[in-house]
A and B are shown apart, each in its own frame.
Chain A
């Protein structure tokens, strides 16, 4: 049995809902895992030793509890997964700036990937259930080739923005206008104009989905095997 923990930091719980949204696939996975910690679903109070920790939410640097939980999870888990935009790239919490009741001093939020060493990051707001199942299944099978792109995002993908498809693709003469980025965006911050993405900055929540889905930045070789 592989021990899995779900840890919630500064987040909306939508990532856990997305995990639950895998329905029967989750049940398949549940046969080989034991959910040892999840404050929403079970009453364990302390994060126990575990194989995989799925952590959603960013870390409030002005809240010592938030920081401690982040460090604790790194100590207890063999594999730490930043689940969803807030943990992986900051997401909507990038825009937090405090001065609200009841804790006006809670103003600084950083993605988990910038606070502790994270092994895998699954961006998206929310990350799709299929992506979560894909990562958990690959982790159970030790399929490192499949996980490689998620490992890279954990290491260097924390600064996500709609501008990525402009800087890394359009500006680099790589965009061929497929429109995948526009479809991936959860807030419709990308419209296709003249066969190129146009990013509406006011709508972007810095979730990273667009650049992660762009086939002109990263195209893992294993995709080329079809049946």
Chain B
């Protein structure tokens, strides 16, 4: 077992609760809009010249996109609870788009993929040095698209085309429609639709990102933010100084870090068991 598997959060310098001060971001973002604000800030201040995001291709189908303007970043704001192969366009960002300072957002597994290709860049010529910022989003599990569709249409009784936002929180899966309705089902009902490959994943808070963020731990409309690396710290501090973010000490918000820790450890314990189980069956696991 690896040393950090049971360490809930991985290494970090600082953790806070924060939200964007940009109105247009808060309108579209999932939580405090940390990801979109960081990308817009980076593009506007020439710290980034391209960012990889998950665009909504309609009805919450997610497609990776290289965004080079704040408008494109805004279009892609908000969580799509389905697999989006963000890393598949990383080389295009360097080649076709000619980006030299790339921001990437991804689930913990995608962040891990980026760190691997930076250390072992076998098929990634001239890519590692162009990765300027890695933002990770917390992730408990993901769903294949038809898994998501079944949850929304069969369990919540809402047509995909009417959905404007989905959210997981307080033990429930929430769906908001363009008619202003809200539907929620117990998270337990969504378990059968989880991507099974998520069950060997032991990273909840995107431990290898420069900055990780998620909703858990902070009040609605705010985000919990881990600042992990020197790079992450530099851009985060600049954003605060320039008035792009409002920040509160995590100790002062409810439910606070305790809940994040509980969920992170739950994920690790459950999935470590699955890893052990697969080993017993003689099945391969990432090593």
Chain A residues in the interface with B (C-beta under 8 A): 18, 21, 122-124, 126-131, 134, 146, 149, 168, 172-180, 182-186, 192, 194-195, 207-210, 212-213, 215-224, 226-227
B123 x A179 contact (CB < 8 A) = no
Question: What is the chain A residue whose CB lies nearest that of B92?
Answer: A183
B182 CB-CB contact with A under 8 Å: no
The docked-state distance in angstroms from the alpha carbon of A172 to that of B112 is 19
The B interface, classified by DSSP as helix, strand, loop or mixed, is: loop
What are the 6 A-B residue pairs with the smallest beta carbon separation, nearest first?
A179-B85, A179-B88, A209-B123, A184-B123, A195-B83, A177-B83
Question: What is the chain B residue whose CB lies nearest that of A127?
Answer: B122
Interface size on B, residues (CB 8 A): 55
Question: What is the chain A residue whose CB lies nearest that of B285?
Answer: A174
CB distance from A81 to the nearest CB of B (A): 13
B125 x A126 contact (CB < 8 A) = yes
B110 CB-CB contact with A under 8 Å: yes
Evaluate whether A218 and B286 lie within 8 angstroms (CB atoms) in the complex, with A179-B87, A183-B87, A195-B144 already known: yes
Known A128-B127, A176-B197, A226-B229; further 14 A-B contacts with Cβ < 8 A: A122-B122, A124-B123, A127-B122, A173-B196, A176-B201, A177-B85, A178-B87, A178-B106, A179-B110, A183-B90, A192-B88, A208-B122, A213-B116, A215-B109
A172 x B283 contact (CB < 8 A) = yes
A195 x B85 contact (CB < 8 A) = yes
A168 x B284 contact (CB < 8 A) = yes
The docked-state distance in angstroms from the alpha carbon of A173 to that of B287 is 15
The docked-state distance in angstroms from the alpha carbon of A183 to that of B116 is 13
The docked-state distance in angstroms from the alpha carbon of A223 to that of B118 is 9
Evaluate whether A172 and B122 lie within 8 angstroms (CB atoms) in the complex, with A182-B88, A195-B83 already known: no
A220 x B119 contact (CB < 8 A) = yes
Question: What is the chain B residue whose CB lies nearest that of A128?
Answer: B125
A226 x B228 contact (CB < 8 A) = yes
CB contacts (< 8 Å) of A173 on chain B: these are: 196-197, 283
Question: What is the chain B residue whose CB lies nearest that of A221?
Answer: B2
The docked-state distance in angstroms from the alpha carbon of A45 to that of B88 is 44
B120 x A226 contact (CB < 8 A) = no
CB contacts (< 8 Å) of A179 on chain B: these are: 64, 85-89, 110
B91 CB-CB contact with A under 8 Å: yes
The docked-state distance in angstroms from the alpha carbon of A195 to that of B230 is 32
B121 CB-CB contact with A under 8 Å: yes
CB contacts (< 8 Å) of A210 on chain B: these are: 123
The docked-state distance in angstroms from the alpha carbon of A220 to that of B195 is 24
CB contacts (< 8 Å) of B230 on chain A: these are: 227
Chain B residues in the interface with A (C-beta under 8 A): 2, 4, 10-11, 64, 82-92, 106-107, 109-110, 112-113, 115-117, 119-129, 142, 144-145, 195-198, 200-201, 207-208, 228-230, 283-287
Evaluate whether A226 and B115 lie within 8 angstroms (CB atoms) in the complex, with A129-B125, A179-B89, A221-B2 already known: yes
A134 x B84 contact (CB < 8 A) = no
Q: List 19 A-B contacts (CB under 8 A).
A: A128-B124, A128-B126, A131-B120, A131-B121, A173-B196, A174-B285, A176-B109, A176-B195, A176-B201, A177-B83, A178-B109, A183-B89, A195-B85, A195-B195, A215-B112, A219-B286, A220-B116, A223-B208, A224-B208
CB distance from A215 to the nearest CB of B (A): 5
The docked-state distance in angstroms from the alpha carbon of A183 to that of B122 is 11
The docked-state distance in angstroms from the alpha carbon of A19 to that of B91 is 20
The docked-state distance in angstroms from the alpha carbon of A226 to that of B228 is 8
Q: Which of A146, A216, A217 contacts B197 (CB 8 A)?
A: A216
Evaluate whether A223 and B110 lie within 8 angstroms (CB atoms) in the complex, with A128-B125, A195-B83 already known: no
Q: Which of A185, A209, A217 contacts B286 (CB 8 A)?
A: A217
CB contacts (< 8 Å) of B83 on chain A: these are: 176-177, 194-195
Q: Which of B10, B92, B128, B207 contacts A130 (CB 8 A)?
A: B128
Q: Which of B2, B90, B198, B286 contacts A224 (CB 8 A)?
A: B2
The docked-state distance in angstroms from the alpha carbon of A18 to that of B285 is 33
The docked-state distance in angstroms from the alpha carbon of A127 to that of B121 is 8
CB contacts (< 8 Å) of A172 on chain B: these are: 283-284
CB contacts (< 8 Å) of B122 on chain A: these are: 122-124, 127-128, 131, 184, 208-209, 212-213
CB distance from B86 to the nearest CB of A (A): 6
Question: What is the chain B residue whose CB lies nearest that of A216?
Answer: B286
The docked-state distance in angstroms from the alpha carbon of A224 to that of B10 is 9
The docked-state distance in angstroms from the alpha carbon of A223 to that of B128 is 14
